[in-house]
Structure 1
Amino acid sequence: MQVDIQTRDITLSDELRTHVERRLQFALSHFQDQALLITVCLSGVSGDRGEDHHCYLQIRAKGYPDVAIEDIETDLYIAINRAVERAGRMLERQWQRAHNHLNGPLQ
């Protein structure tokens, strides 16, 4: 798993980097054997509620469509958690579909 974390208007502290990497490791642990290329973009956004935080996540895996998820929250850590969880579920569904397609319907 290769992770590229990019920020705009946010300081990438060691704590924040560790949080992102741990969340990705946990949510994508089923895909450790896949060569995943993950891009995480974190930024501050002015919104109706004041300052919000945006987390955009893109996952590329050979043989699968790209997964792109984004989340906006007032708390950056919540935005990261939700985006990573959703991306993990989406990648799992894609893997299941591909696996079922290759093996045919269950009998």
Structure 2
Amino acid sequence: MQILIQARGFDLSPGLREHIERRLRFALDRTHYHVRRVSVGLSDLNGPRGGEDKCCRVQVAMAGAADVVVQDIESDLYVAIDRAVDRAGRTLARRVAQQRDHRHASPRDTRGAQAATAAVAADATLTVAMP
């Protein structure tokens, strides 16, 4: 998994970079086989004026699917990072589960379900027919 981190408007400290990488590896651990690249963009929207203006944008590029893009704005940059990475991890897990469920639904599965439904209907008919 390739991780790209960019900071706009301030310097990216080694501690901040380590925090981002650790959070990403934890949040994307279950789905890391599906991730090609993760881009994290950090920015201070208002500059030195303060306020809720620290932005973290996480973009996860998946193999064979649309990118997952999550953005969060908070007054504390670490909180913005944590929230955005957590949301990206949950969204990615949902997408992978949907892909897995979609792949497992094949015509054979449909025929098996139809046969099971017919067998249940036949049992119900026999049960009703008996006094």
Query: Residue type matched to 1:29 in 2?
Result: D
Moved more, 30-39 or 7-16: 30-39
Q: Which runs of 4+ in 1 moved over 6 A?
A: none
Give yes or no for contact 2:35–2:60 (8 Å, CA) kept in 1.
no
- Equivalence map 1:7-86=2 (5 Å): 7-46=7-46, 50=51, 52-86=53-87
Question: How far 1:46 moved relative to its partner?
Answer: 1.9
**CA distance in 2: counterparts of 1:19 and 1:63, whole angstroms:** 29
Greater share of helix: 2
Secondary structure of the residue that 1:93 maps to in structure 2? helix
Moved more, 34-43 or 64-73: 34-43
Greater share of strand: 1
Q: Computing the radius of gyration over CA atoms, which structure comes out larger, 1 or 2?
A: 2
TM-score, structure 1 as length reference? 0.90
Give yes or no for contact 1:60–1:67 (8 Å, CA) kept in 2.
yes
**CA distance in 2: counterparts of 1:35 and 1:91, whole angstroms:** 9
TM-score, structure 2 as length reference? 0.74
Question: How far 1:11 moved relative to its partner?
Answer: 1.2
Q: What is the RMSD computed on CA atoms of the aligned residues?
A: 2.0
> What do the CA deviations read for 1:82-107 (whole angstroms, capped 9, x no partner)?
000000000001001110011128x7
Partner of 2:121: none
> What is the total number of aligned residue pairs between the two structures?
106
Gaps of 5+ in 1: none
> What do the CA deviations read for 1:22-61 (whole angstroms, capped 9, x no partner)?
00000000123234201100000129x7252000110001
